[in-house]
Structure 1
Amino acid sequence: MTFEHHLNKYAELIVRVALNIQSGQTLWINAPILHPDLVRLISRKAYEAGAKHVHIEWQDEISTQIRYACAPDEAFNEYPSWRAQALTELAENNGAYLWIDADNPELLKDIDPARISANSKAAGPKLLKWREHMSAYTMTWSIVAAPSEAWAQKVFPHLDGEAAIHALWDAIFHATRVDQADPVQTWHEHNAVLRSKREQLNAKNFHKIHYRAPGTELTVELPPHHIWRGGSATNGRGGFDFNPNIPTEEVFLSPHRLGTQGVVRSTKPLSYQGKLINNFSLTFENGRIVDYTAEEGYESLKAMIEIDDGAHYLGEIALVPHVSPISSSNLIFFNTLYDENASNHLALGRAFSTCIEGGTSLTKEEQIQAGLNDSLIHVDFMIGSADMDIDGEHADGRIEPIFRKGNWAF
């Protein structure tokens, strides 16, 4: 198969499965300027699927780097209201949003973390309504990826620029199952498997989850009336399914914000806002981080945790089998979208209101009372390995295996 054939199938998968574009929808694409061919394919296929408008917002990582290096400090305390209003209007009108990630994992490695943190704090309140629509699935959205030379070179340091890009494209096509005969049908089948896993977990109604692995001894309490999610999601307005992430291998939920105890150690690097954080550990008491270490990127880890009070608590736990296309590639992607789907992971910060019964109808204060966390951030980090065992504990104290040696035990 030619590269062009695979790229066409990738665009088809994005439009028909990731976004599942409906007649009359408006699509907003946040796209790197490196990939006009992919964006044009997606645009054409979206219109063919019935989209009314396709709006493209081009991004250039070099311009982003220049801004962080050269703009005055006060620029990072502001966020454009017009952009926030446009995104909120898109959500309120049941639009679709696609982010094509091609970021250099170390784009901002020489930038003061305080600037990055200030920018996140400024954006948070402005984007609150939009993010609420995303977390409640009252709009359609998805994240996919495409290579940049810097990212490809990080994943394949032994290859020159062009060869590294081709190798990363091949890895993306494999991880997203685009290299299979009918990726759209394959994803419908894969989503059915993930739906089966989450239904089994929901039926078990565990009270706590216990993690054991080298450097990790962690217990996480689950809120009453919790709901495991994973794979496809259902648009709350239109009733149709879409995939917020492609690829995805996870089944996830939001834990009780005050119920995490113990120590957890990362197993893959975390690329956070253009900086790498590596070999780090977090210690929790009564849900809150009380200590943390990092061999690389300590200041970035500190800035992330200190961005607000909610960043000290978990907003997500996710189960991912060690045997999966991404994990089996034996690659570290230095990209959360991919690395989180090779490994069990946790997320600091904002919880998902859809992960408890009736959660989307609760006020923010009611969600917190129900055990859900709130924060400006939601940052996934990887903790899984072939050595990880996970148990579920029932309310009566009975223990049941969920994972053994990194894979499903049922």
Structure 2
Amino acid sequence: MNARYTDNLERYADLIVHVGLNLQKDQELLISAPISAYEFVRHITIKAYEAGALHVMTDFYDEELKKIRLEKSSEEGLKVFPHWKQKGYIEMAENNVALLNLIAPNPSLLREVDPGRVALLNKVSAEASKEFSAYIGGGKISWLIAAYPTEEWAETVFPELSKTDAAEKLWDTIFYTTRTDREQTVERWEQHINELNEKASLLNDAQYTKLHYTGPGTNLTIGFHPQTKWISAQFTNDKGIPFVPNLPTEEVFTIPDKTSVNGVVTSTKPLNYGGTLIKDFSMTFKDGKVVDFSAKEGYDTLKNLLNADEGASYLGEVALVPHNSPISNTNIIFNNTLFDENASCHIALGRALSVCVENGKELNPEELNAIGFNESAIHVDFMIGSGDLAIDGEKPDGTIHPIFRNGDWV
């Protein structure tokens, strides 16, 4: 490995510990990661202890074992979930343990697996994880999703290259998109977050009641309750500590009134859901619910996703991302939602985020439901932005203001 790679890796690990997690002295950390990332996990563990971590724990997994289970297990076996593990996660959350989820997906891993079996396993997992998901969606604890590139993932992004060259290029791209390819990474991230917070403040000051989206295959209106707010991907946990749960991030976002979504929307990038790609898909919404949909690839997976539970066919997030951004400007389809959603405006099916509600952590389910808050075991982002997207905001008095033109902020 050359010196430049080593320096970038060092900055990436620093970014994860000091900006993403903002790990505090005497705080515990749980790292969930694929077995292929063990060396990088060791590197992050060192950084965490140097930052004053009390204890660093690891939870390794192997996607190939998931594939074997899907292919070989009985249907009853797919319904088995290790509840002891979920209880452990909840206990750690109650004790302010920070969570790092390193992801290294193989987008084509489950291409030949029965979508019905994949949907069953995803549903069982989502239902069992619902209580813990509240700690994440509410920003109650510090958590972070960051990427670790593997040869399998890199091959799907750069199929024209050898495995080794593809992985090296993916690493370089991740360093670029996370701003870890240059000095003063932490300082540049502080500036970036401040700029995103300024955008969120402008949207909140405008008090838009609706957004109107128009673009190729898209004519969609999304309504909002006055009690919801726009935020950047900088949360504050229950201890008052700020953290950034996604690296990279280019979005400002809020939640819709679940019953105030109408029209047609068309995806602009593939969606990797549970190891299966869904491509070239569109959805029609009426009073918030998906009433029709199509997909050129992954139709059954999309169908199972929408049928996961009652809330799965309603929206839980609306995010604005400029077409002119480091991720988008790479002109790369990452086949990974963490990156693709930050290259494009996106919306999410399923669970809404209580951090986007004024005093959301203090409201009970009935109070949240009254403002159009969507409940679901799933939360799946998909990309709808492009250089042709226009978005207009409607104010309470009915006046219309342009927000996006040609995919970028006005």
Q: TM-score range, shorter-chain basis?
A: over 0.9
Letter in 2 for 1:264: V
State whether structure 2 residue 170 is matched by structure 1 residue 201.
no
* Alpha-carbon distance, 1:150 to partner: 1.4
1:362 maps to which residue? 363
Is the CA contact 1:208–1:220 (under 8 Å) kept in the aligned structure 2? yes
Residue in structure 1 matching 2:161, options 135, 159, 163 = 159
Range moving further from structure 2, 55-64 or 182-191: 55-64
Corresponding residue number in structure 2 for 1:142: 144
> Shift of residue 361 of structure 1?
1.3
Q: Contact 2:8 / 2:182 at 8 angstroms: preserved in 1?
A: no
Residue 99 (structure 1) aligns with: 101
Three-state SS of the structure 1 residue aligned to 2:78 is helix
Which amino acid is the alignment partner of residue 131 of structure 1?
S
Residue aligning to 1:394: 395
1:176 match? 178
Aligned residue in 2 for 1:308 = 309
User: 1:294 is matched by which residue type in structure 2?
Assistant: A
Partner of 2:45: 43
Where does 1:264-343 land on structure 2 (aligned, <5 Å)? 264-343=265-344
Structure 2 residue 82 is matched with structure 1 residue 80: yes
Is 1:130 aligned with 2:126? no
Give, in whole Å, the separation in 1 of the partners of 2:210 and 2:58: 44
Give the 4+ runs in structure 1 shifted more than 4 A. Answer: none
Please state how far the C-alpha of 1:255 moved relative to its aligned partner: 0.2
- CA distance in structure 2 between the aligned counterparts of 1:43 and 1:309, rounded to whole angstroms: 40
1:230-268 deviation digits (Å, cap 9, x = unpaired): 131111x22111110000000000100000000000000
Aligned position for 1:109 = 111
- CA offset at residue 90 of structure 1? 1.2
Separation in 2 of the partners of 1:353 and 1:165? Answer: 37
Secondary structure of 1:376's aligned partner: coil
More displaced, 220-229 or 271-280? 220-229
Residues 120 and 376 of structure 1 are in contact (CA less than 8 Å); yes or no, is this contact kept in structure 2? Answer: no
Contact 1:78–1:123 (CA under 8 A) maintained in structure 2? no
Could you tell me how far apart the structure 2 residues matched to 1:352 and 1:60 are? 29
Please name the residue that 2:227 is paired with: 225
Q: What is the distance in 1 between the residues matched to 2:62 and 2:208?
A: 45
Q: Deviations 1:124-169 (Å, cap 9, x if unpaired)?
A: 3322221111111110100000111111000000001000000100
Contact 1:152 1:164 in 2 (8 A): yes
State whether residues 119 and 301 of structure 2, in contact with CA within 8 Å, keep that contact through their aligned partners in structure 1. Answer: no
Letter in 2 for 1:130: F
Structure 1 residue matching 2:53: 3-state secondary structure: coil
SS of aligned partner of 1:114: helix
Q: Look up the equivalent residue of 2:108 and give its one-letter code.
A: E
Kindly state the Cα deviation for residue 388 of structure 1 after the two structures are TM-superposed: 0.5
Amino acid at match of 2:329: S
1:13 Cα offset (Å):
0.6
Sequence identity (%): 47
The alpha carbon displacement at 1:332 in A equals 0.4
Q: Which moved more, 1:101-110 or 1:319-328?
A: 101-110
SS of 2:9's equivalent in the other structure is helix
* Matches of 1:401 and 1:356, distance apart in 2: 24
Secondary structure of 1:35's aligned partner = helix
Q: Secondary structure at the match of 1:338?
A: helix
Distance across 2 between alignment mates of 1:9 and 1:335? 22
Cα distance, 1:223 vs. partner? 1.3
Would you say how many aligned residue pairs link Structure 1 and Structure 2? 408
Assess if the C-alpha contact under 8 Å between 2:227 and 2:371 holds in 1.
Answer: no
Q: CA offsets, 1:333-384, max 9 Å, x none?
A: 0000000000000000000112121222122232112211011100000000
SS at match of 1:64: helix
In the alignment, the residues of structure 2 paired with residue 252 and residue 360 of structure 1 have an alpha-carbon distance, to the nearest angstrom, of 17
Unmatched segments (≥5 aa) in structure 2: none
Partner of 1:61: 63
Residue 120 of structure 1 and its aligned partner are, at CA, apart by 2.4
> How far does residue 9 in structure 1 lie from its aligned partner after superposition?
1.1
Q: How many Å separate the matches in 2 of 1:92 and 1:28? A: 13
What secondary structure sits across from 1:370 in the alignment? Answer: coil
CA distance in 2, matches of 1:267, 1:16: 33
For 2:149 and 2:322, how far apart are their aligned partners in 1? 25
Amino acid at match of 1:69: E
Asked whether 1:2 is paired with 2:4, we answer yes
Q: Which moved more, 1:272-281 or 1:24-33?
A: 24-33
For residues 208 and 324 of structure 2, what CA distance do their matches in structure 1 show?
24
Deviates more, 1:3-12 or 1:335-344: 3-12
- Residue 250 of structure 2 corresponds to 249
Contact 1:79/1:119 (<8 A) preserved: no
TM-score (norm: length of structure 1): 0.98
Secondary structure, aligned partner of 1:2: helix
Distance in 1 (alpha carbons) for counterparts of 2:178 and 2:40: 15
Conserved? CA contact 1:18–1:245, under 8 Å: yes
**Cα distance in 2 between the residues matched to 1:99 and 1:231:** 16
Please state whether the residue corresponding to 1:211 is helix, strand or coil: strand
Question: What amino acid sits opposite 1:81 in the alignment?
Answer: H
Question: SS of 1:280's equivalent?
Answer: strand
- 2:349·2:378 contact (CA, 8 Å) conserved in 1? yes
